[in-house]
Amino acid sequence: MSDVLPPEAEKATSVRAMFDLIAPHYDTLNRWLSLRLDQYWRRKTIRSVNVCDDDRVLDLACGTGDLSELAAATGARVIGIDFARNMLIGATRRRISATFIQADANALPLPTAAVSVVLSGFALRNFVSIPHTLQEAARVLKPGGRLALLEVDTPRPTLLKWGHSFYFQRIVPLLGGLISDRKSYLYLPRSVVYLPEEAELLQMVRAADFERVVKTRLSGGVAQLITAVRR
């Protein structure tokens, strides 16, 4: 395995330290490196599960609060959870109308059936155990609650796939290294290997007690949005 991808036993510690390190420039680089598409994808995520003022929303691995901010703008009550302290400091500085808590996605400090919506943006590949995280998301969701998972993806058309690979694997680490930490921005593109194949990932969501599981390819397949409903 690449030296920028930590062994499984060290993944949680390494990823937490990485996000604490890159937190100060994280928002700026997200905008630049995604050509501002990241905000379009996040708005689409909020709309995909019809977040509204009646909802209590969990933003899982919330980072600096992009999805939390959009959810709070609907009038929903929002809880943002992340295990990287510096990310949460960044979220708090934005004065978002949300409660931010430092915690592990595999052991959420919330009662069963506490929320009506769970959101997560670009975090699946950073979890130590995707099935366990999905089970925790299902636990804290009310029956009929909605799940929306935004994540990177790989385009299918050959030319687009080549261009995306070149940009993601070469340009992103170069620009990330100039402004933030090069090793971290080598990890982020290569961490795609942690994502299961499409059929396996959708089955993981179903196995965690979700139904109506749908995957939507975004912007030609460079990102994906998975939505589901808690049984």
Please say whether the beta carbons of 192 and 122 come within 8 A: no
Beta strand 77-82 with 56-60: parallel, antiparallel or unpaired? parallel
Residue 220 pLDDT: 94
Residue 1 pLDDT: 42
The pLDDT tens digits of the residues spanning 98-152 come to 999 999 999 999 999 999 999 999 999 999 999 999 999 999 999 999 999 999 9
Residue 145 pLDDT: 98
pLDDT in tens, the chain (231 residues): 456 799 888 999 999 999 999 999 988 888 888 988 999 999 999 999 999 999 999 999 999 999 999 999 999 999 999 999 999 999 999 999 999 999 999 999 999 999 999 999 999 999 999 999 999 999 999 999 999 999 999 998 888 999 989 998 899 888 888 889 989 999 988 999 999 999 999 999 999 999 999 999 999 999 999 999 999
Residue 3 pLDDT: 67
CATH 3.40.50.720 assigned to 8-230: no
Residue 175 pLDDT: 85
Residue 70 pLDDT: 98
Residue 3, Cβ neighbours under 10 Å: how many? 8
Q: Which two tokens stand for residue 48?
A: 């995909």
pLDDT, mean over the chain: 95
Please say whether the beta carbons of 4 and 187 come within 8 A: yes
Q: Domain residues of the chain, as ranges?
A: 8-230
Q: Which of 59, 175, 78, 170 is nearest to 122 (CA)?
A: 59
Which distant-in-sequence residues (6+ apart) come within 8 Å of 60 by Cβ? Answer: 81, 105, 108, 118, 119, 120, 123, 133, 137
Using only C-alpha atoms, the chain has a radius of gyration, in whole angstroms, of 17
